[in-house]
Structure 1
């Protein structure tokens, strides 16, 4: 019988993060390089937001309508990632029940959720992929019980 029902059992620990001082272009490059779709944004070791691939790719600076590709790249290379991030990411703790975290992800239409400890330190990330891994394990476990 499987008893791994907490977020800590399924989260990705020590997620790849980006510093608040980084630019939108640096964030896009980091996503590609590390093959991830979301980056917690850190300032002085604290979680200050989250930025996703979708946020970055749909982000455009205010005056972008009349800019050509080079001007846009120039601007994005100087735009801090904090301008594109969500400054109030949803969080859960490692002790949160996996079902509750999964329901939050579904209800809020998120693709992942940041995991912080009781001090507010980032300790992991729970993605829809992590939740599906748990579902697969639970389903296989249930089938084996029959």
Structure 2
């Protein structure tokens, strides 16, 4: 059986629940990531995705200028835009089960937690595709 633990991204970049949306935007751009687990100390408070940030921002039709928008986002906590109940799996979850969850719920990633509900990783669609590629290559090699 192939498990999440082998394919997850360990020690994902996180952000504190006291951070602002503008801080999250800058961190996502700097680290080239699309989702941030939001932490309340050691406890998971939620998840913030690039899509959530985009949907949270006022539309381009707003009368706010760039500076006003930046100011607004610099004063708004990430907790305003995050999902407080993210989907979670464990390192021992079979990869097929986690991939099915990603597919069925149309998710781009799930948090990976240990027995104490502590964040240990994140499994993304990209991770699942990397696993699929590796597994298919192994099968091809073994059938030659």
TM range (shorter): over 0.9
The partner residue of 1:117 within 75, 90, 114 is: 114
The answer as to 2:21 corresponding to 1:24 is: yes
TM-score (norm 1): 0.92
Partner residue in 2 for 1:78: 75
Residue number among 72, 90, 105 corresponding to 2:102 in the alignment: 105
Find the counterpart in structure 2 of residue 69 from structure 1: 66
Check if 1:136 corresponds to 2:129: no
Could you tell me how far apart the structure 2 residues matched to 1:45 and 1:33 are? 23
- C-alpha separation between the residues in 2 aligned to 1:57 and 1:92? 26
Q: CA deviation at 1:120?
A: 0.3
CA distance in 2, matches of 1:51, 1:107: 20
Q: Distance in 1 between matches of 2:100 and 2:57?
A: 31
Deviations 1:29-67 (A, max 9, x none): 000001111000000111110001111122136xx9443
Alignment of 1:91 with 2:80, yes or no, is no
Which residue of the partner structure matches residue 51 of structure 1?
48
Alignment partners' CA distance in 1, 2:124 and 2:57:
26
Q: Which runs of 4+ in 1 moved over 4 A?
A: none
Unaligned runs of 5+ in 2: none
Uncovered stretches (5+) of structure 1, i.e. residues with no partner: none
User: How many residue pairs were aligned?
Assistant: 141
Measured in 1, the distance between the counterparts of 2:68 and 2:32 equals 27
Structure 2-normalised TM-score? 0.93
Q: Give, in whole Å, the separation in 1 of the partners of 2:36 and 2:68.
A: 25
